[in-house]
């Protein structure tokens, strides 16, 4: 998945659980990685008849459902668009309007915005079958907690400063959850002083210009957390806040391009100054 992953597991079956999670991650990479070839996603994108396992069908269905739920802000068929901008092969360039139009029309699958969160929830399924007390997984910046800390205090997860190597604050999370951040600092290039990042606005085929530099989502379901972090980044603060008010399954922290921080009332954010987003205003 072109990133670093770090797995810590406490408990009798820690070793075997880590090894099974490793196998599961390698299989997900093989099936869904952007490097196509003979992968499930590569064959889907070539229009081949692919016999999907029940789990693969479920993943695709859920991606479609998240696209619908977010009004298309999460769009798992932007592969050609990301490719045109060079984000898949690091050959960065600004494509012309015609190229973007064609790329949008091609509707090639790309699970990049949801697969790491999905990997988190699949890890939880593995851990559930084992003698394991607790675990902390960092799957390329997507954090998955499992169980409770030994001393009973909540997990503390740092939220990265989008414009520095430090953390702007910490979210406290009880038990098993996914904490996923989408940001304009994770993958980008600059040209003539303008930053072009990897999160695309499906309406335009250009990097989403929503006034945000990152969105963190805290949710019990990993894939939902991941898809929503990307979608909320595309929506921006105002639309994202309205979306949160209509929902009941996640909390979020928004960092604006000017550094201002907004957090929903259940996000458990501390260690910084921020505006609280409430159910009713
Ligand atoms: P994330 O880091 O989870 O926000 O996912 C970003 C990745 O998902 C990008 O590198 C692309 O592969 C893909 N992507 C970009 N824009 C979108 C979008 N609007 N919806 C779904 N996937 C996207
Ligand atoms: Mg995402």
- The arithmetic mean of pLDDT across residues 154-167, rounded, is 96
pLDDT grade for 140, boundaries at 50, 70 and 90: confident
Find out whether 28 and 115 touch, Cβ atoms under 8 Å.
yes
Task: Give me ligand 2 centre to Cα 89, in Å.
Answer: 19
Per-residue pLDDT at 228: 98
Angle at 166 between CA 150 and CA 242, to 5 degrees: 85
Structural element, H or E, at residue 143: strand 142-146
Per-residue pLDDT at 4: 85
Task: Give me ligand 2 centre to Cα 113, in Å.
Answer: 4
Task: Give me ligand 2 centre to Cα 230, in Å.
Answer: 4
Distance CA 213, CA 234 (A): 11
Q: Is the pLDDT of residue 1 over 80?
A: no
Would you say the pTM of this structure is higher than 0.95? yes
Is residue 122 in contact with ligand 1, taking CB distance under 6 Å? no
pLDDT grade for 37, boundaries at 50, 70 and 90: confident
- The arithmetic mean of pLDDT across residues 94-121, rounded, is 97
- The arithmetic mean of pLDDT across residues 64-78, rounded, is 98
Is residue 184 in contact with ligand 1, taking CB distance under 6 Å? no
* Percent of the chain at pLDDT exceeding 70: 99
216-273 pLDDT, tens digit each? 999 999 999 999 999 999 999 999 999 999 999 999 999 999 999 999 999 999 999 9
Query: Which of 275, 166, 259 has its CA nearest to residue 267?
Result: 275
Q: What are residue 182's DSSP bridge partners?
A: 215
Per-residue pLDDT at 107: 97
Average pLDDT, the chain: 95
Task: Give me ligand 2 centre to Cα 226, in Å.
Answer: 4
Residues, Cβ < 5 Å to ion ligand 2: 113, 182, 226, 229-230
Query: Looking at the CA of 41, which ligand is closest?
Result: 1
SS3 112: coil
pLDDT grade for 281, boundaries at 50, 70 and 90: low
Is residue 120 in contact with ligand 1, taking CB distance under 6 Å? no
Q: Which residue bears the tokens 């670093």?
A: 4
């Amino acid at each position: 998945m072109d990133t670093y992953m770090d797995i810590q597991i406490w408990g009798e079956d820690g070793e075997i659980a880590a090894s099974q999670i490793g196998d599961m991650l390698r299989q997900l990479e093989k099936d869904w990685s952007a490097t196509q070839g003979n992968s499930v996603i590569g064959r889907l994108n070539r229009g081949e008849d692919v016999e999907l396992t029940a789990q693969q069908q479920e993943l695709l269905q859920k991606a479609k459902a998240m696209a619908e739920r977010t009004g298309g802000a999460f769009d798992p068929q932007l592969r050609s668009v990301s490719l045109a901008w060079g984000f898949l092969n690091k050959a960065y360039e600004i494509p012309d309007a015609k190229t973007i139009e064609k790329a949008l029309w091609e509707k090639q699958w790309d699970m990049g915005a949801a697969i790491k969160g999905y990997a988190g929830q699949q890890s939880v399924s593995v851990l559930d079958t084992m003698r394991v007390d607790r675990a902390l997984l960092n799957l390329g910046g997507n954090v998955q907690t499992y169980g409770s800390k030994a001393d009973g205090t909540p997990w503390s997860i740092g939220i990265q400063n989008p414009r520095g190597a430090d953390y702007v604050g910490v979210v406290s999370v009880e038990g098993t959850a996914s904490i996923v951040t989408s940001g304009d600092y994770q993958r980008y290039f600059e040209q003539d002083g303008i930053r072009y990042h990897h999160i695309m606005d499906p309406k335009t085929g250009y990097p989403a210009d929503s006034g945000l530099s990152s969105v963190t989502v805290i949710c019990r379901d990993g894939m939902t957390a991941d898809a929503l972090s990307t979608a909320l980044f595309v929506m921006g603060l105002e639309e994202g806040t309205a979306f949160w008010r209509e929902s009941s399954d996640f909390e979020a922290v928004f960092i604006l391009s000017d550094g201002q921080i907004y957090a929903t009332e259940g996000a458990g954010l501390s260690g910084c100054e921020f505006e609280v987003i409430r159910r009713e205003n």
